[in-house]
């Protein structure tokens, strides 16, 4: 297994993290996870844009430009002979003595690695159970930062409750989930939180929004009250790993009649069609 470290690719066995890397000590960094199908990076441009946006928002300078990073990541995929799996990319502010403010004269550290394996989408096919929990995270979750403790605690709460995902509620309004975005469908209208500072604008969210027209759904980007979420005809979550994940139960209450809805199923089909259209046949 190999790791991309800045512009070099080295064996994992010779890679180490400096104790004073700010990503390690402060969570002072950003990341992306990109799916690979048949060796092709899915929605790469969108992930690249978001990575550079996150960096700009935190005033982290990435040592490569977008073309150079694309080249290096493709080189890593080729070296690993990755067919189906994902690439994880992380950029931290760099290595410096432990001070809170930005250190001077320090270069950022970019690392990336790949993971092979087609995910079995068992849960998505069977339907997902979720719980709701207060959104205790900071107010810049639009930045894909390494600070994920609020997300970790929420997911753990879901797992301990026998559920697969935790839905965040802030001031009575549904924002997103611990590692996914959430949509609700009522009378042919698809609701989701607007892409502002209170959610991560998921790449899968953006793809699904583009696909809504194909399944005859109208988009309404406005926050749902928790009570409204309970009353939706259909609910589904989206993220890079799970794509479209139909929700069948929220806090122990059935969504609709408790089965996967037709719109959610059709969206999954459209999503698969899109994947098929970008991979070489
Ligand atoms: N929201 C949060 C908090 C996430 O962690 C993620 C993915 O990790 C998403 C939404 C979905 O983003 P994407 O579709 O880009 O994977």
Residue 1: per-residue pLDDT: 94
Whether residue 186 lies in the annotated active site:
no
Asked whether 242 lines ligand 1 (CB < 6 A), one says no
Rounded average pLDDT over 19-23: 98
**Model pLDDT for residues 200-225, shown as the tens digit of each residue:** 999 999 999 999 999 999 999 999 99
Per-residue pLDDT band at 191 (split at 50, 70, 90): very high
Tell me: pLDDT of 281 over 80: no
> What single-letter DSSP state applies at residue 4?
E
Helical H segments across 173-257, by residue range:
203-211, 226-230
Region at 87 (left for phi over 0; alpha for psi -120 to 50; beta for the rest): beta
What would the pLDDT profile of 24-47 be if each residue is shown by its tens digit?
999 999 999 999 999 999 999 999
ipTM rounded to 2 decimals = 0.99
Question: Of the candidates 88, 120, 91, 125, which has an alpha carbon nearest to the alpha carbon of residue 108?
Answer: 91
Query: Which domains does the chain show, CATH number per domain?
Result: 2-116 (3.30.470.10), 122-278 (3.20.10.10)
- From 47, 138, 180, 274, the mutation candidate for ligand 1 (largest count of ligand atoms within 8 A of CB) is 180
97 CA → ligand 1 middle, Å: 32
In degrees rounded to 5, what are phi and psi of residue 225?
Answer: -70, 155
pLDDT one-digit tens code per residue, 70-84: 999 999 999 999 999
Instruction: Quote the percentage of the chain above a pLDDT of 70.
Output: 100
């Amino acid at each position: 297994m190999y790791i991309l470290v800045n512009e070099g690719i080295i064996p994992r066995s010779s890679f180490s993290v400096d104790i004073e890397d700010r990503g390690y000590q402060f969570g002072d960094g950003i990341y992306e996870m990109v799916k690979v199908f048949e060796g092709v990076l899915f929605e790469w441009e969108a992930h690249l844009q978001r990575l550079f946006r996150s960096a700009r928002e935190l005033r982290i300078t990435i040592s490569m430009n977008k073309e150079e990073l694309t080249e290096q990541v493709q080189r890593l995929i080729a070296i690993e002979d990755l067919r189906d799996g994902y690439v994880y990319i992380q950029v931290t502010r760099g290595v410096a003595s432990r001070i809170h403010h930005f250190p001077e004269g320090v270069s950022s550290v970019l690392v990336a690695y790949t993971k092979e394996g087609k995910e079995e989408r068992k849960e998505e096919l069977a339907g997902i159970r979720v719980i709701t929990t207060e959104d205790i995270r900071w107010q810049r979750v639009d930045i894909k930062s390494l600070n994920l403790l609020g997300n970790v605690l929420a997911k753990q709460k879901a797992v301990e409750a026998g559920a697969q995902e935790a839905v965040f509620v802030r001031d009575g309004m549904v924002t997103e989930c611990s590692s996914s975005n959430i949509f609700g469908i009522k009378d042919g209208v698809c609701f989701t939180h607007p892409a502002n500072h209170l959610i991560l604008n998921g790449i899968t969210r953006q793809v699904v929004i583009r696909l809504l027209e194909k399944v005859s759904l109208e988009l309404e980007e406005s926050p749902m009250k928790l009570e409204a979420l309970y009353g939706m005809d259909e609910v589904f979550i989206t993220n890079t790993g799970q794509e479209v994940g139909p929700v069948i139960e929220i806090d122990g209450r059935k969504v609709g009649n408790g089965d996967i809805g037709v719109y959610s199923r059709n969206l999954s089909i459209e999503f698969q069609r899109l994947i098929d259209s970008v991979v070489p046949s």
